[in-house]
Each structure stands twice: as structure tokens, then as C-alpha cells.
Amino acid sequence: MGKVIAIDGPSGAGKSTVSKLIAERLGFEFLDTGALYRAAALHLKRMNMREESPDADISRALHGVVINFKNGRVFLNDEDVSDAIRTTEAGHYASVFSAKKAVRDFLLQTQRDAAVHNDIVAEGRDMTTVVFPDAWKKFFLDASEQGRAKRRYLQLKEKGMKITMEEASADVRERDKRDSSRDIAPLKKADDAVCIDTTDLSLNEVIEEVLKAVNKTQ
Ligand code: DC
């Protein structure tokens, strides 16, 4: 089992960018678990699954499905879905379906397998609490609601998507409420996670904070 740096937090707190760069700096692999949930949700939508669908139907729909990463791209049964999973709609369905036990069970082993032969930086909502409770280092990245909405807005704009600041704000608010209040593996700060508020910090400052905490207790 490799070393795991586990990073959780709400949407728009900057987890992906920070995790990717920390992984690069330390020579670790980067595991974007949100991408796994987004790809699974895309598949379930295509299979006409709905929020109300029973777990047994969802499990059946996911049977034999392979989601993996190659050269930083995300593949759903060999189809490159890297762009398709980045829309606000895909994020919405990822949040909806991620509350289902069948989906979380389906993705659990894939996530743990990523650390079997590699040191990884894993980011998501339950990395520190459920998937890697014994992680080498744990972090919780947070930011004000306004700061998170702004970051999400800029990210989607940069990808060329049509979105207003109000829509970005509604997206993070709605998803975080659902992700934090669900019964299974809700988003919450682990007692032993280092909390970093990224609202007023630059990307470099956040990375320095994380690296400082990693080095301090090495
Ligand atoms: O990090 P993201 O925005 O790409 O995640 C999309 C959704 O997937 C998020 O709203 C909740 C879900 N998710 C989850 O439940 N657990 C994770 N470890 C990662 C994401």
C-alpha cells in the first residue's frame, strides 16, 4: 500500500487544482474521485436511471462498467468522457447519484485500488473519512460560499461554458447541501484532518500550507 494524502472539501474550494499540483511536486499519482462519480452518473443517466431508482437496478446498470484514467483523461468503457463530465448538469447528476449506496459501493474498490501500488493524492468528499480513514495525511479545504461560487464560475468560463455567477452560486450551494446531508459518506471534516480556508489565499499559498503540514509530521 502506498502513501495516501487525502483531501476533502466542498465544491469550489480548490481541491482539484491543489491536489494535482501537490501530486506533481511530490511525485505522487493524482486521484480525482469526483471524476469517477461524474462518469458513473453519466452512464446511469444514459441507462435512464433516476434518483428514485432502487439500488438493485442501479447496481445492475453499473455491472461490468469500467471507469479509469489514462494520461489524465477519464474513460467510461473506453469512451473518453473527460469533457462530457465537466458540465454543471453532469455535476448535478454526480451529486444526486453519489448519494446512492449502489454507486458508492461500486466505486469504493476502484478508489482503494489506486493506492495499492502507488503513492497518491486523493481528493473528494469522503477520502479522509471512509475511503482512506488511515491516510498518511489528511486535509479539509474550505472557502466561503461566495469564494467557492466565484472559483466554480471562473473554472467553467475558462472551459468555454455559458454560465452566470448566479448559476454557479446556485450550483455549489445545492450540491454542497446534498453532499453534506446525505446518509451515506456525507461530506464532513475528519477530526484528524488539517483544515485550510482557501478564501483569501493564492494557489501557491494553499500549496505551501499543505506542503508545510506534510513535511512537519513526516
Ligand atoms: O468534486 P466534483 O465536483 O467533481 O464531484 C462531483 C460530485 O460527486 C459531488 O457533488 C459529490 C460526488 N462525490 C462524492 O460524493 N464523493 C467523492 N469522493 C467525490 C465526489
pLDDT tens profile 123-149: 999 999 999 999 999 999 999 999 999
Which is nearest to 145 in space by CA: 166, 117, 120? 166
Starting at the earlier edge strand, list the strands of the sheet with 194-197: 29-32, 120-124, 4-8, 137-142, 194-197
Which is nearest to 4 in space by CA: 98, 108, 105, 113? 113
Q: How far is CA 133 from CA 16, 19, 122, 161, 178, in A?
A: 20, 18, 12, 36, 22
**Distance from the alpha carbon of residue 134 to the mean position of ligand 1, in angstroms:** 20
Q: How far is CA 19 from CA 68, 97, 210, in A?
A: 18, 24, 9
Domains in the chain, start-ordered, CATH in brackets?
A: 4-210 (3.40.50.300)
Work out the number of other CB atoms within 10 angstroms of the CB of residue 75: 15
Residue 196 CA to residue 193 CA, distance in Å, equals 9
Mean pLDDT of 187-194: 97
Work out the number of other CB atoms within 10 angstroms of the CB of residue 16: 17
Q: Which residues sit with their C-beta closer than 6 Å to ligand 1?
A: 11, 33-34, 37-38, 91, 94-95, 98, 124-126, 175, 179
Contact (CB, 8 A) for 65 and 76: yes
216: pLDDT strictly greater than 90: no
Q: Whose CA is nearest to atom 15 of ligand 1?
A: 98
Q: What pTM does this model have?
A: 0.96
Q: Whose CA is nearest to atom 18 of ligand 1?
A: 124
The pLDDT, as a whole number, for residue 218 is 59
Contact (CB, 8 A) for 176 and 11: yes
**Helix or strand or coil: residue 32?**
strand
User: Which atom in ligand 1 lies closest to the alpha carbon of residue 176?
Assistant: 10
**Distance from the alpha carbon of residue 193 to the mean position of ligand 1, in angstroms:** 18
pLDDT band for position 194 (cuts 50, 70, 90)? very high
pLDDT tens profile 32-84: 999 999 999 999 999 999 999 999 999 999 999 999 999 999 999 999 999 99
**Distance from the alpha carbon of residue 117 to the mean position of ligand 1, in angstroms:** 24
Pairing of strands 73-76, 67-70: antiparallel
**Percent above pLDDT 70 for the chain:** 99
